[in-house]
Amino acid sequence: MTLIPELTILQPADKEQIDLPRTSEEELAVGKKRLYIESYGCQMNFADSEIVAAVMRNAGFATTATAEDADVIFLNTCAIRDNAEQKVRNRLKHLTGLKRQKPELLVGMLGCMAERLKTKLLEEEKVVDIVAGPDAYRDIPKLVEEAESGQKAVNVFLSREETYADISPIRLNSNGVTAFVSIMRGCDNMCSFCVVPFTRGRERSRDPHSIVREAQDLFDRGYREVTLLGQNVDSYKWVLGARSEERGEESASETPHSSLPAPNTTTFAHLLEMVALIHPDLRVRFSTSHPKDITDDVLHTMARYDNICNYIHLPAQSGNSRVLKLMNRTYDRPWYIGKIDRIREILGEDCGISTDMISGFCTETEDEHQESLSLMDYVHYDYAYMFAYSERPGTLAAKKYADDIPEDVKKRRLNEIIARQLAHSSERNQRHIGQVQRVLIEGPSKRSDDFLCGRNDQNKMVVFPRGNHQKGEYVHVLVTECTSATLRGDVVNE
């Protein structure tokens, strides 16, 4: 699972932001109640908010872009770090004041924080009327009805079946070019620092044909990039006729160049191919990969299709084998390095690679911290998500290990990781100077409407003069300069 950093984000997009659903004249039809959703945390939460919006639309709700105009406010929450939960609690303080002005307003907590705290949320946060876990979103209209009658409404049941495969998400605040497509839910990995298996339940994969239909529909509507989402996409496995708890338990084949699935079986490599075949102009990305599961099959599929982006997020978490064992990552440093070597061998040195790195995990020594830095030196990541370790209640680490690294040591080590990554990001970006990059335009630059921006194949943001170009177009940009986070250049004819 990709986490959300507290201090520094070296990544292609700001993931911890707020969804502001767009409104339309149709949605603001007289008599409709209005829904406002804010999303925090990982990309899965943002995708889930789009499912919630679709469920509520079917129940007769419109969306609104401001909390003040809403009849119902949902916060789709993250529990991966204490800092993420504190942001939500601070937001609830503001909503308490809003509710005093508008007593009929309903406030709901969705997602991982809701699942972790369950009914305790209602005791701790009096402003909350509704609590719904990640597998309870179909039940939300009923929960709203209960809350409207004056009751507190809760559903935190975790399912082994639910994938929301039949629900067509409503794209919230969409740029109309890129979209998330959820391919699986839950996680079976049980990393000792991570709360996700307890808040999102067991791993289950979605019917591949429903995934292809959703991606095809997006392409038909003008979208030109989809990101396939899962806590561990490489363990995706669909077996026709099998029970959901039986799917995904076996690792995908390591056989290179396999293009046909075993009878009635779809692995992640096969799914990637199915989506890539929709159209050459539909870019395909995916997140997140687990080092123990990513296969040569996946890498060879990426190499065969130009529209599967040459970028992999492969979280290491630590560069030391003993710490990795304490984290229950099920691989060691040599295994991880072997995966990096295989990626470079099959996809080339220009393949973009990013990581997660945690500083100050339980009992981590100074020498073990140095091994994380040396791993970064070996790989030269394009960007990274970097954290100081934050103990989460209920995790295996919280039960088994003392959080014994002082906060000042954690922060100092984190700053060293950040400094190392800044240097590597700058170096990796400088490789592109003088190269022509194919860029999918996503919209205006944040700094100036005179410039447009979009991503290249390695998921790096490229900024260039607007000219006569529009979002959704592919253009070729000659890179002339860079920062550690951005490429800049000019459009050329090719």
Give the C-alpha separation, 294 to 117, whole Å.
33
CB 464 within 8 A of CB 488: yes
Instruction: Give Cα 184 to chain centroid, integer Å.
Output: 12
Give the C-alpha separation, 8 to 30, whole Å.
44
Question: What pLDDT was estimated at residue 494?
Answer: 63
For the 436-492 domain, the top CATH level (class) is mainly beta
Rounded to a whole number of angstroms, the distance between the first and last alpha carbons of the chain is 39
Among all chains, which residue has been given the structure tokens 């959300």?
4
SS3 content of the chain, % helix, strand, coil (to 5): 35, 20, 45
Question: What pLDDT was estimated at residue 29?
Answer: 44
Under-50 pLDDT residues of the chain: 1-30, 244-245, 247-262
**Residue 78 assigned to a binding site:** yes
Strand 61-63 relative to strand 33-39, pairing: parallel
Q: In 149-237, which ranges are continuous DSSP H helix? A: 196-200, 208-220
**Residue 362 assigned to a binding site:** no
Cis peptide leading into residue 288 (ω within 30°): yes
Tell me the pTM.
0.89
Question: What pLDDT was estimated at residue 243?
Answer: 56
Helix, strand or coil for residue 305?
coil
Q: Which CATH architecture has domain 178-430?
A: Alpha-Beta Horseshoe (3.80)
Question: What pLDDT was estimated at residue 242?
Answer: 67
**Residue 309 assigned to a binding site:** no
**Residue 191 assigned to a binding site:** yes
Give the C-alpha separation, 118 to 122, whole Å.
8
According to DSSP, the residues that pair with 49 across neighbouring strands are none
Q: Which CATH architecture has domain 20-155?
A: 3-Layer(aba) Sandwich (3.40)
Give the C-alpha separation, 322 to 120, whole Å.
36
**Residue 482 assigned to a binding site:** no
Domains of the chain: which residue ranges? 20-155, 178-430, 436-492
Give the C-alpha separation, 250 to 245, whole Å.
12
What's the Cα-to-Cα distance from 365 to each of 16, 361, 406, rounded to whole Å?
31, 9, 12
